[in-house]
Amino acid sequence: MLGKKSVLRAPFAYASPWILAAAIGMLIAIVIVFAANNLQREKRIMTESLINKGEAIIRFVGAGSRVSMMMGSTSSEQVQHLIEQASGESSILYIGVVDSEGRIVAHSDPALINSRLDHPLLGETGPVPTLRHQVSTDPEGKGKIFEVIAPFKPFRGGRGHFFRKQFPQGQQPCPPDGTAGAGCPQPAPGNGPFLAGNLQIVVGLDMREQEAIIREDLHHMAYMSLALLLVAIGGWVALLTAQSYRSSQKTLMNMQAFTDLLISRLPVGIIATNTQGQIQTFNKAAAALIGGRPEEAVGQPLARALPDFFQALNKEGRDERELIDQELAWPPESPAPSHLHVSSVPIADQQGAHLGRVTLIYDLSEIKRLEAQIRRHDRLVALGKMAAGVAHEVRNPLSSIKGFATLLGSRFAEASEEKEAAKLMTQEVERLNRSITELLTYARPLPPHLEEVELEPFIADSLKLVQSDARALGVELHYSIEVARKTLTLDRDRLNQVLLNLYLNSLQAMEQGGSLRVVVTEGGQAGSVEIRVEDSGSGIAEELIERVLDPYFTTKPGGTGLGLAMVYKLVDEQGGSVRISSRISEGTCVTLVLPT
């Protein structure tokens, strides 16, 4: 498959150089068009900016002149002062006001006042209605000048609020033609009337800064074009080399994907670290066993991602070649911890250099459970043999003792002390005989008698056996069937005996009242049913739960210790299992897992 793909890609990798030339030519054309459009846009923006700046200067001078005239001053000296102030900025080369005959009446350079200004935009006679601009060359060769020319009307007439405040009622301002009137100041000598005629204002702005920006943009676009050209050539070369690299890279990626899938699906927890102790691999099985999330653990140091014990596997000072093999219960504070087997193996390359460590985590909980079950079976077998021997060796002498005690008691009067002693001896012999019978019943392996049993009537009838005892203790009885099936194949008598033993244990733990509940649900494994017997009694201590199924182990003063042991034996003979969970003062739950 990989060979065929290489052959198909070879003609593309060795394409004609004319294709490369055409691609580079198209790229150059695109870059040139882009650069020209960008340059035009920048020039348009700069032109608009200069026009706005010139217009703002003209408005400033006009507004200042109007304010001065509202205050009663009509001389050109005040306008000259405003123009000189406005031209103080470095980017403003000059500001001038000319009349309709081209004579300069005010200028940022006072030496040019009363001189004539020959300007192509000033050749018209009459008013100039709009603002105009042009670009001219500085006579001194310092660069280009952007000139803005507009009509200059420092006073447009009107009687606004400000005007009425400056000239109260009955007092008139100076006439707009500049002639003296009552209460109007006379013009100073040499400062004739300023508002007569059509005036125009010329503002010259320095364009050297804009030209420098345009030159810088041109250089930038040239560099960018060259860089794009080099990138295109480099991309073509990279494309040629990438074709041969891609097939091997794809093979490597397929192998890595297969390895990742294999590691993620293994039932063994795998944690791989590099030489710095950072996690490189953390599969789902490891996350399920010790906690954490694989996507968050990868790339993190052990001290941040793992519990203390696993951090010690890679602690500083440990020999890199040391093999670690250890079993532990995890988490240690849990009442039912998992039994884990941890192996940490160093990784080295062909030269023996240390590359990191791989930690393998196995869950031994099921194996430990099977081992405990085997040990319990061994004890049961030993107990059965012992019970058979005891029954054989003790039962016959007990029958003789009972017969002699009966005979001896018959020779004494009913109210005599000897008669009472003989009765007591007979009762004790009968008690020993019952114990031997229980031993024989427990030790004798009998095949189960399986039959179809309807679940709900069976559970209801089993609870009726302890209904009177529960009523006397103030215990409420409940049951629920939460399975779709109506019947179950089982040994009715043995399971009834099992449930009766569990009910009696629960009632003995609820002397002050409570509730007893039986729940039938589908099992966690396919083809199984769970019967839970839950009570709200005194509960069992955590350290005793593992021992309550052992024969002759009891916490009750008068108990024999065979009740739960008999439950375990009868359920085990039907191919099922028993689970017990309990908390002190909260109650106990015994779960019977039966195959269907």
Which residue, among 370, 54, 36, has the nearest Cα to 207 in the 3D structure? 54
Mean pLDDT of 161-169: 41
State residue 398's pLDDT score.
79
Among 121-125, 210-214, 316-320, 584-588, top mean pLDDT goes to 584-588
**Region for 587 from its dihedrals, namely left if φ exceeds 0, alpha if ψ lies in -120 to 50, beta otherwise:** left
3-state secondary structure 266-334: CCCEEEEECCCCEEEEECHHHHHHHCCCHHHHCCCEHHHHCCHHHHHCCCCCCCCCCCEEEEEEECCCC
Q: How confident is the model at residue 197 (pLDDT cuts 50, 70, 90)?
A: low
State residue 438's pLDDT score.
65
| Angstrom distance (rounded) from CA 113 to CA 194 | 13
pLDDT above 50 (res 10): no
State residue 320's pLDDT score.
65
Lookup: tokens for 7:
């052959």
pLDDT above 90 (res 115): no
Mean pLDDT of 223-242: 76
State residue 156's pLDDT score.
52
Q: Are 574 and 592 in contact (CB under 8 A)?
A: no
Q: Tens digit of pLDDT for each residue in 349-374?
A: 878 787 888 888 888 888 877 777 77
Q: Are 522 and 483 in contact (CB under 8 A)?
A: yes
State residue 14's pLDDT score.
47
| Angstrom distance (rounded) from CA 334 to CA 70 | 95
Instruction: Give, for 579, the enclosing helix (H) or strand (E).
Output: strand 577-583
Q: Tens digit of pLDDT for each residue in 285-336?
A: 888 777 777 777 788 887 677 776 666 665 555 666 777 778 777 777 766 6
| Angstrom distance (rounded) from CA 64 to CA 128 | 21
Task: Name the more confident of 549 and 124.
Answer: 549
Q: How confident is the model at residue 589 (pLDDT cuts 50, 70, 90)?
A: very high
Average pLDDT in the chain: 76
% of the chain surpassing 70 pLDDT: 78
SS3 50: helix
Q: How confident is the model at residue 163 (pLDDT cuts 50, 70, 90)?
A: very low
| Type of residue at 133 | H
| Angstrom distance (rounded) from CA 257 to CA 266 | 14
Q: Tens digit of pLDDT for each residue in 360-413?
A: 888 888 887 777 777 777 776 776 677 677 676 777 787 888 888 888 778 887
Tell me how crowded residue 527 is: count the other CB atoms within 10 A of its CB: 8
Which residue, among 275, 267, 459, has the nearest Cα to 357 in the 3D structure? 275
Mean pLDDT of 156-160: 44
pLDDT above 70 (res 94): yes
Q: Tens digit of pLDDT for each residue in 487-544?
A: 888 888 888 888 988 998 889 889 888 999 999 998 877 788 999 999 998 888 877 8
Q: Are 551 and 564 in contact (CB under 8 A)?
A: no
> Which one-letter DSSP state was computed for residue 8?
H
Task: Name the more confident of 104 and 535.
Answer: 535
Q: Residue 377: how many CA atoms within 13 Å on its side-chain side?
A: 11
Q: Are 395 and 440 in contact (CB under 8 A)?
A: no
| Angstrom distance (rounded) from CA 223 to CA 23 | 19
State residue 319's pLDDT score.
65
> Which one-letter DSSP state was computed for residue 16?
-
State residue 184's pLDDT score.
46
The DSSP bridge partners found for residue 522 are 529
∠ CA 65-66-71, nearest 5°, is 100
Q: How confident is the model at residue 88 (pLDDT cuts 50, 70, 90)?
A: confident
| Angstrom distance (rounded) from CA 321 to CA 356 | 10
**Which residues does 2 contact at the CB level (< 8 Å), separation at least 6?**
247, 250, 251
Which residue, among 469, 449, 483, 464, has the nearest Cα to 511 in the 3D structure? 469
State residue 519's pLDDT score.
93
The DSSP bridge partners found for residue 347 are 356
